[in-house]
Amino acid sequence: NSVENGTVTWESPSNIALIKYWGKRDPQIPENPSVSFTLSECKTITKLTYTKKNDTKDFSFDVFLDGDKKDDFKPKIETFFKRIEVYVPFLKDYHFTIETKNTFPHSSGIASSASGMSALALCLMRIEKDLSTTLEVTEEYFNKKASFLARLGSGSACRSIEGNLIVWGKTAHIEGSSDLFGVKYPYKVHDNFKNYQDTILLIDKGEKQVSSTVGHQLMHGHPFAKERFAQAHDNMKALKSILETGDLNAFINLMESEALTLHAMMMTSNPYFILMKPNTLEVINRIWEFRAETGLHIGFTLDAGANVHILYPQSEKAQILEFIENELVAYCKNEEYICDVVGAGAQRI
């Protein structure tokens, strides 16, 4: 790669929050701390080609998804570029071609914003590194700034740079935590959580009726906002001893409570809305019954949508996956589901 032109490619994973980020203020500052597992199979692969242009007046870029030009992605990227311009001074010096693809199906209801924005942020960081002649770009600086930039694209994207457990949002309970970027969870994690499984049931593939941007905004003036934000801090504290001791029952209790609280915030905002579908509730009830019958450590969480993430330890994979395939896949649209596992973070390719 030269100063005139070059190409960089990164793949970056999605992540699934255990303690949910819901509510933000400018510039993309979370109202409460969150923590997520980095995934490994659900990811975005982005190739960024840069070519020096003659003027430095405006941003200039084209976006392709699976080879098709996607002009409807441009406003979101334009907003992202505007937010990061001061931190990425070369942004107006080049024309960029952004070629991107996801490993998960289109409009599957799996948010591609975390993997997509983190992949793009990493490509830009790599260009910064290639262009830099004076600054020594350490791995720590690289990851921290990539996370910082990704956050300005989509909040949860800042948790997709590294693995396996990432905290975002300042809290007294996590040393080194920041509102500006994600950090690796710094305390002991029990082996029960090694290779933790996430089977994602694709319940509804339609476009979300309410975007997460709107959802975050609705936490302003929300009657339960103050209590919810305080609860997230308390839950970060509670999670610490759960992760240390490997108490899976307590883990499931906290994770499911967080998922339902997220949706409770949606149902109690003004305007109120519901993103769960009848099959979301069917699946949740079947999970509860199966857990009571078997004593296996199967639990669920939800994102801002109808899909159900089923989380469980690797040691119980055979029995739980058999149950999912025999009984739960029937509730999915076109019987589609994705088997994922906790991962180590993004990679350059």
Q: Contacts from 281-289 at CB under 8 Å and sequence distance 24+? A: 282/331, 283/201, 283/203, 283/308, 283/328, 283/331, 284/308, 286/327, 286/328, 286/331, 287/328
In the bound state with ligand PMV, the residue whose beta carbon lies nearer, of 36 and 49, is 36
Per the CB < 8 A criterion, the answer to whether 346 and 46 are in contact is: no
C-beta atoms surrounding 212 within 10 Å? 19
Dist. CA 129–CA 166, nearest whole Å: 24
In the bound state with ligand PMV, the residue whose beta carbon lies nearer, of 242 and 265, is 265
In the bound state with ligand PMV, the residue whose beta carbon lies nearer, of 13 and 155, is 155
In the bound state with ligand PMV, the residue whose beta carbon lies nearer, of 252 and 262, is 262
In the bound state with ligand PMV, the residue whose beta carbon lies nearer, of 154 and 164, is 154
The residue whose two tokens read 């690796």 is: 184
Judged by the rule CB under 6 A, the positions of this chain that interact with ligand PMV are 17, 20-22, 34, 111, 113, 154-156, 212, 216, 262, 303-304
User: CA nearest 98: which of 128, 68, 125?
Assistant: 68
Q: Least Å distance between CB 133 and ligand PMV?
A: 34
Q: Least Å distance between CB 215 and ligand PMV?
A: 7
Tokens of 60: 């200039």
Q: Least Å distance between CB 309 and ligand PMV?
A: 11
Q: Least Å distance between CB 71 and ligand PMV?
A: 21
Q: Least Å distance between CB 43 and ligand PMV?
A: 16
Q: Least Å distance between CB 269 and ligand PMV?
A: 13
In the bound state with ligand PMV, the residue whose beta carbon lies nearer, of 111 and 236, is 111
Residues in the chain, overall count: 349
Q: Quick check: helix, strand or coil at residue 146?
A: helix
Per the CB < 8 A criterion, the answer to whether 161 and 143 are in contact is: yes
Tokens of 93: 């010096």
Dihedral, CA atoms, 103, 106, 110, 116, nearest 10 degrees? 60
The residue whose two tokens read 């801002």 is: 304
Q: Least Å distance between CB 51 and ligand PMV?
A: 30
In the bound state with ligand PMV, the residue whose beta carbon lies nearer, of 127 and 266, is 266
In the bound state with ligand PMV, the residue whose beta carbon lies nearer, of 185 and 323, is 185
Q: Least Å distance between CB 27 and ligand PMV?
A: 13
Q: Least Å distance between CB 24 and ligand PMV?
A: 7
Output Rg (C-alpha) for the chain, integer angstroms.
20
User: CA nearest 11: which of 111, 102, 143, 108?
Assistant: 102
| Side chain identity, residue 23 | G
User: CA nearest 13: which of 338, 345, 341?
Assistant: 345
CA 262 to chain centre: 15
